[in-house]
Structure 1
Amino acid sequence: MIRNVIFDFGAVLFEWNPLQIVNSFTISQPERDILLRDVLQHSDWLSLDRGTMLIAEVIPKFSARTQIPPQRIEDFIIHIQHSLTKINQTEILFQKLTKQPYSLYYLTNMCSAFFDTLYEKHHFISFFDGGLVSGKELVMKPEQEIFERLCERYQLTPRESLFIDDNDENIKIATEMGFNTVQFSQTPTCFQQIEKQLLLH
């Protein structure tokens, strides 16, 4: 029996589409390619998510590597935060679950500054019963440790929990650990699958 529902943030509750993010920031194709490859897909971005580096530290590093001025990199990071808009259908699902006897948690790979911005901006995040942000924990999905930490901190049992994430590696590790899982996509089929698992009609 499922008692807990665990949501990822990026690409589940909030839009996260790196290609769209760079395309809406600049019309220059060379700059788009650089920002995608040398910022969003670079290991320094993972360090930001992991919390081992801060935004103030990565800006000069990204700038030196890409030859893009620091102010432009800073503008891009602000743009990224503005791009994290709510996925309305997931929010509707979340609101529906707050009226059900489920405990609701989040488990997200995100730098703490981004999370804090989202928390201030979106009131509904305060309705979660708890959750972990990789940037505050210094450990991230798909590492088993972050799942174990979530369970320990909130006394969760994997088999009583449904984990919703878009990333197949994260889903794979959660499934191996005994969680019920749904790999998320913004499709009616996916929402039906979640509702079926949670007996929502």
Structure 2
Amino acid sequence: MICNVIFDFGAVLFQWNPSKIVQTFTDSKYEQQLLLNEVLQHPDWSSLDRGTMLMAEVIPKFAARTGFPESRMEDFFEHILNSLVKISCTQTLFYQILDHHYSIYYLTNMSSAFFETLNERHSFLSLCKGGLVSGKELIVKPEPEIFELLLERYNLQADESLFIDDNEDNIKSARSLGFHTVRFEQSDECLEHIYDLLDLIPK
């Protein structure tokens, strides 16, 4: 029986679309591709998520790599944060899950700095019973260790927990450890599947 629901952040609770993020920052196709290749898809971004590099370290490196002034790179990072807006359908789902007395947790690959800002901006996150942020733990999904740490820290059972994430590798890793899983997409079919699993009636 499912007792716990574990949400990813990017593209599940919050919008995360790198192509749209760069397109809404600059009209230059060249700069858009540069920001995708040399920032959002660069290994240093993964290091930021893992917590092995800090924001103060990566911004000068990203600026040097792209040729952007540091001040403009800081503006881009602020733009990224502002692009992480709530997804309304999962916001609704979140509150319905709470109303039915499931325990909610989060498990996200994200830098500590980004998480702290989101946590300050969105009071609904305080309704979670807890969660893990990769940037604080120095491990990332889909590594099994981060799922095992979540179970251990909050005394959860994998077979009593539903993990919702948009990334197939993360889903496979969680499933291999015994979690119930849903690979999330913003579609009626996906939401209906989650509602069915949790025996909820959509509002």
Normalised by the size of structure 2, how large is the TM-score?
A: 0.98
Q: Tell me which residue corresponds to 1:45.
A: 45
Determine if the alignment matches structure 1 residue 150 to structure 2 residue 147: no
- RMSD between aligned residues: 0.6
In percent, how many aligned pairs have the same letter? 61
Determine if the alignment matches structure 1 residue 128 to structure 2 residue 119: no
- How many angstroms apart in 1 are the aligned matches of 2:182 and 2:172? 10
Q: Tell me which residue corresponds to 1:88.
A: 88
- How many angstroms apart in 2 are the aligned matches of 1:192 and 1:19? 28
Determine if the alignment matches structure 1 residue 107 to structure 2 residue 133: no
Q: Quote how far apart the aligned CAs of 1:72 are.
A: 1.0
Residue by residue over 1:110-159, the C-alpha shift from the partner in whole angstroms, topping out at 9 and shown as x without a partner, is 00111111111111000000000001111110000000000000011111
Residue by residue over 1:9-38, the C-alpha shift from the partner in whole angstroms, topping out at 9 and shown as x without a partner, is 000000000000000000011100000000
The amino acid that maps onto 1:56 is A
Q: Tell me which residue corresponds to 2:138.
A: 138
- How many angstroms apart in 2 are the aligned matches of 1:60 and 1:120? 25
Structure 1 spans left out of the alignment, 5+ residues: none
Q: Tell me which residue corresponds to 2:69.
A: 69
Decide which moves more: 64-73 or 27-36: 64-73
Decide which moves more: 12-21 or 50-59: 50-59
Task: For residue 5 of structure 1, give the secondary structure of its aligned residue in structure 2.
Answer: strand
- How many angstroms apart in 2 are the aligned matches of 1:83 and 1:62? 19
- How many angstroms apart in 2 are the aligned matches of 1:166 and 1:74? 27
- How many angstroms apart in 2 are the aligned matches of 1:66 and 1:123? 35
Q: Quote how far apart the aligned CAs of 1:101 are.
A: 2.2
- How many angstroms apart in 1 are the aligned matches of 2:53 and 2:93? 34
Structure 2 spans left out of the alignment, 5+ residues: none
Task: For residue 131 of structure 1, give the secondary structure of its aligned residue in structure 2.
Answer: strand
- How many angstroms apart in 2 are the aligned matches of 1:151 and 1:29? 44
Task: For residue 152 of structure 1, give the secondary structure of its aligned residue in structure 2.
Answer: helix
- How many angstroms apart in 2 are the aligned matches of 1:63 and 1:115? 22
- How many angstroms apart in 2 are the aligned matches of 1:106 and 1:158? 14
Q: Quote how far apart the aligned CAs of 1:65 are.
A: 1.3
Extract structure 1 runs of 4+ deviating beyond 6 A: none
The amino acid that maps onto 2:191 is F
